[in-house]
Chain A
Amino acid sequence: MKRTVDVNIPLGPIHPCFKEPARLKCEAKGERIVGAEVELGYMKKGIERIMKGRPWQEVMFLAERVCGICSVIHNMVFIEAMEQISGISVPPRAAYLRVIVNELDRMQSHLLANFSYCYTIEHETLGMYLLDLREQVMDQLERLTGARVTCAYIIPGGVRCDIPRNDAELLQASLDRIERDLRRYSGMFAEGPMIALRSRGVGILTQEAAQRAHVVGPTARASGITADCRLNHPTYRQLGFVPVSRTDCDNFARVMVRFDEVFQSIGLIRKCLQDLPAGVIRGGGVCKAGETRYSGEAPRGELTYFIKSDEFGRIVDIQIQTPSIMNIEACCHEMIIGADSIADVTSTFVSADPCIACTER
């Protein structure tokens, strides 16, 4: 007679579907997942400890090294936190340029996340198309800032360099091309019957569970929560930003929210280029003593810096709350519990766009 036994399945730390090392210890009854635990510590950087006691000029470069995928937002949130402490204002042109760079960073991060998901569900063709688009976004980021990652573009009171007219025209043309191609690729994802089999109704995260775990970003917005830090940002308010959300609560919704947000980012960049104010890009200012909590919307959700600085602008104390902490926790304790197949564990985990580098910081 066939007997159902409890099986423990450790996934990782090295796994073909994971971009970074993490260990998931799943407990299954047959194929059904009944429990999961996460083990971290395979890439701990201790970056908060390294930051303490250093001047902001050094911490600025350390902040963007927390994560190689969303380095711009770490740069932006740290600098805007220091600006808040010190009462430094930003020229309008620089504020718009910050939004352009931040949205380009969000686009490349979302395209990479959706590539990872397609790769995990064995739809490599679509994944490669998305990676090709991501390269075009990375090229624009490099043209604007001088680097693909760790750009150090945002500085207190402004940005490092302006956008020449020629570069703005090239960015416009590139956005047109990306939008045209992405419309086709997102359509392929939305209408693919095999993709739907692996994605619709899988990895359900209810709105209540998402709220309890403080889930943020596209993962929360795919569960019907419309929270987005950009709603509180003055420049995004000027641009009339409205967050996108879905209520399907499954893997499919999370990927589609990211596609929708890429289109939204294209729209925001176009609007910034169209309304780009004239004027200086650096207003200057001195970083002072103070303590603050400042949040910004990273590609994965709310990124919060708790900073305490002294009168010389040195960082006395700092703690970084990255969005992946909340999203991975909810993923492992809510989304994958009750999954009908072991194969759904990896796809559900990847659908939450987990960033272990951010989590371990």
Chain B
Amino acid sequence: MTTYLYEKDLVPQKYRILVAYRHDILVRQIATELDIPVQELRRYLIEHFDMILLENLPARVEMADAHADQDDPVALVLGREKYTLYLQIMSGAAMESIFHAVSDRVRAGTAMEDAIAYGRERIREELRR
């Protein structure tokens, strides 16, 4: 988004949304899943999401848990649809590249945990870019 002149600083308000009861549980859960500090994830969300998307995060996670990546175990663990279509914290193209790399490793005989750990590392790199 283009920045406007005389724009209000929304960081404190976005922070208040993220530390509300359900949001806090959710953010900590995602931070644990991705193995990144909570503060770093909060900053990422504040910088990339608008207020209404932040408000709607718990509902989106509920829907992702119920419907996303039901047919592929690698996609489910990696959060292929969860992090792109539902939570929108990274682009679909980047996730597809990570998912294919992880799937290739699993097919080549790498242990599932190691392949997923590699995928998570790539996701962290993507978020820090």
Binding site for B on A (CB under 8 A): 6, 8, 10, 25, 27, 35, 37-41, 44, 48, 211-214, 306, 317, 319, 321, 325-326, 328-329, 332-333, 359
How far, in Å, is A343 (CB) from chain B's closest CB?
A: 22
A329 close to B56 (CB less than 8 A): yes
B55 close to A329 (CB less than 8 A): yes
Q: Which residue of chain A is the closest to B85 with respect to CB atoms?
A: A212
The interface on chain B, measured as residues whose beta carbon lies within 8 A of the other chain's beta carbons, has a size of 24
A40 close to B51 (CB less than 8 A): yes
Chain A residues with CB below 8 A from B51, complex form: 38-41
Given B21, B52, B58, B64, which contacts A38 in the complex, CB threshold below 8 Å? B52
A214 to B85, CA, bound (A): 12
A213 close to B56 (CB less than 8 A): yes
A25 close to B20 (CB less than 8 A): no
- Which of A44, A321, A329 has most B Cβ within 10 Å? A329
- Which of A35, A40, A319, A332 has most B Cβ within 10 Å? A40
| A-facing residues in B1-39 (Cβ within 8 Å) | 1-2, 4, 8, 10, 13, 20-22
With contacts A25-B1, A35-B1, A326-B59 taken as known, whether A332 is within 8 angstroms of B21 at the C-beta atoms is no
B21 close to A39 (CB less than 8 A): no
In the A-B complex, the 7 residue pairs with the smallest Cβ-Cβ separation, listed nearest first, are A214-B59, A329-B56, A38-B52, A37-B50, A329-B52, A40-B51, A214-B63
How far, in Å, is B91 (CB) from chain A's closest CB?
A: 14
Chain A residues with CB below 8 A from B59, complex form: 213-214, 321, 325-326
B10 close to A325 (CB less than 8 A): no
B13 close to A41 (CB less than 8 A): yes
| A-facing residues in B34-77 (Cβ within 8 Å) | 50-53, 55-56, 58-60, 62-64, 67
Q: Which residue of chain A is the closest to B52 with respect to CB atoms?
A: A38
B60 close to A321 (CB less than 8 A): no
B56 close to A325 (CB less than 8 A): yes
How far, in Å, is B33 (CB) from chain A's closest CB?
A: 19
Given B13, B53, B64, which contacts A329 in the complex, CB threshold below 8 Å? B53
How far, in Å, is A37 (CB) from chain B's closest CB?
A: 4
B1 close to A27 (CB less than 8 A): yes
How far, in Å, is A277 (CB) from chain B's closest CB?
A: 37
